[in-house]
């Protein structure tokens, strides 16, 4: 169990705890903290609570501002100063915004747990990097309802039912987009993200600057049944789907192997396996990686 599940999960995974979707938590005292009193708010020049920022036009400034200032905040990956800063960051992610990878099944459960309809916006990160516009940012309540009133700059937008949202998530899964659940502030789930590597700002923060809490690994890891895996005659399809490079091919054994240290547990490799050899197992069941997020 990760520290978020211990702290906010009440025995569940933090994003599957129904309590975190109630008014008691989504309007709780941790959501009242002003960003100007925090370090990250001062760096980015933000005012108001993080929920106010994320549900108005200021959201762009936060998401994008973080992507832009990250170069200045983290002078170097190997730098001593940068490492100290990184270690100081978990608290900041608690009061601001961070995320975790979820597989399709959990994404569907999150949609079910959410109260009411889901508000869908085009992905802000793709827009920023000049990518193709895609309706893939799914906002949960109460942020979705607030955003609906503040989205004239962010067209098109759409309010979809739970059934439609699940259908969309399944489609994104087929398109090989990684699902992630974001909190804002912890443990209030705010957004279901369906993104890809070069564009997603959270993934960039994780992979380039090793900010663990920006995009945490999922609660699962991929497991390959060696008996069923036949290596697809030397051209395994699953390796292409992995954004994190966790799948390796062994030519003499003619099998695919999972590097569990690199696996984020998104479960996208399962979709393409012709022999159904890949499944997800709980990260907890492997002692070597149970504390690796």
Partner 1 sequence: MVTIRPEIKYDKEKCVDPRSCLECIRACPKNVLAHRPSVIPPPPEEPKEWIIVPTTRVLCDYPTCSLCLDACPNDALSITIPNP
Give the binding site for partner 1 (CB under 8 A): 56-58, 60-61, 64, 67-68, 70-71, 75-79, 128-130, 150-153, 198-199, 204, 208
Is the Cβ–Cβ distance between 221 and 292 less than 8 Å? no
If the CB atoms of residues 199 and 255 are measured against partner 1, the closer one turns out to be 199
Is the Cβ–Cβ distance between 284 and 292 less than 8 Å? no
If the CB atoms of residues 67 and 90 are measured against partner 1, the closer one turns out to be 67
Minimum CB separation of residue 14 from partner 1 in Å reads: 29
Helices vs. strands in the chain: H and E counts, helices first = 12, 10
Minimum CB separation of residue 215 from partner 1 in Å reads: 15
Minimum CB separation of residue 154 from partner 1 in Å reads: 9
DSSP 56-78: STHHHHHHHHHHHHHHHH---SS
Minimum CB separation of residue 51 from partner 1 in Å reads: 17
Minimum CB separation of residue 243 from partner 1 in Å reads: 14
CA atoms of 11 and 44, how far apart (whole Å): 36
If the CB atoms of residues 134 and 248 are measured against partner 1, the closer one turns out to be 134
Crossing angle between the packed helical segments 162-174 and 104-113, to the nearest 10 degrees: 160
Minimum CB separation of residue 208 from partner 1 in Å reads: 5
CA atoms of 23 and 271, how far apart (whole Å): 36
If the CB atoms of residues 157 and 271 are measured against partner 1, the closer one turns out to be 157
Minimum CB separation of residue 293 from partner 1 in Å reads: 22
Minimum CB separation of residue 134 from partner 1 in Å reads: 16
Which residues, in sequence order, are bridge partners of residue 121?
137
If the CB atoms of residues 130 and 287 are measured against partner 1, the closer one turns out to be 130
If the CB atoms of residues 79 and 291 are measured against partner 1, the closer one turns out to be 79
C-alpha distance from residue 121 to each of 57, 192, 194, 247 (Å): 13, 11, 11, 32
3-state DSSP assignment of residue 169: helix
**Residues sharing a CB contact under 8 Å with residue 193, sequence separation 6 or more, in sequence order:** 99, 123, 136, 137, 138, 179, 180, 181, 182, 200, 202
Is the Cβ–Cβ distance between 172 and 194 less than 8 Å? yes
If the CB atoms of residues 79 and 84 are measured against partner 1, the closer one turns out to be 79
CA atoms of 20 and 18, how far apart (whole Å): 5
If the CB atoms of residues 3 and 145 are measured against partner 1, the closer one turns out to be 145
Which residues, in sequence order, are bridge partners of residue 250?
255
Among 234, 34, 23, residue whose Cα is nearest residue 115:
23
């Amino acid at each position: 169990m990760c520290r978020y599940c211990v702290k906010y999960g009440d025995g569940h995974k933090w994003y599957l705890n129904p309590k975190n979707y109630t008014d008691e938590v989504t309007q709780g005292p941790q959501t009242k903290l002003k960003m100007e009193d925090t370090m990250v708010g001062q760096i980015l020049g933000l005012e108001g609570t993080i929920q106010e920022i994320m549900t108005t036009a200021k959201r762009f400034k936060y998401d994008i501002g973080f992507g832009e200032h990250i170069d200045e905040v983290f002078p170097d990956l190997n730098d001593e100063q940068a490492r100290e800063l990184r270690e100081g960051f978990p608290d900041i992610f608690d009061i601001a915004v961070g995320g975790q990878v979820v597989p399709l099944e959990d994404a569907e459960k999150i949609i079910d747990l959410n109260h009411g309809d889901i508000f869908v916006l085009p992905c802000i990160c793709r827009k920023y990097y000049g990518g193709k516009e895609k309706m893939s940012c799914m906002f949960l309540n109460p942020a979705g309802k607030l955003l609906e009133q503040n989205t004239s700059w962010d067209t098109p937008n759409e309010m979809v039912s739970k059934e439609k949202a699940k259908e969309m998530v399944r489609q994104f899964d087929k398109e090989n987009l990684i699902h992630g659940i974001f909190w804002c502030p912890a443990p209030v789930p705010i957004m279901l993200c369906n993104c890809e590597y070069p564009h997603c700002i959270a993934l960039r923060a994780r992979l380039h600057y090793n900010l663990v809490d920006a995009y945490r690994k999922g609660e699962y890891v991929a497991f390959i049944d060696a008996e069923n895996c036949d290596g697809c005659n030397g051209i395994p399809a699953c390796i292409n789907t992995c954004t994190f490079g966790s799948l390796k091919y062994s030519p003499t054994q003619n099998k695919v192997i999972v590097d569990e240290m690199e696996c984020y547990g998104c479960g996208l490799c399962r979709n393409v396996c012709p022999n159904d050899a890949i499944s997800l197992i709980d990260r907890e069941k492997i002692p070597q990686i149970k504390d690796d997020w």
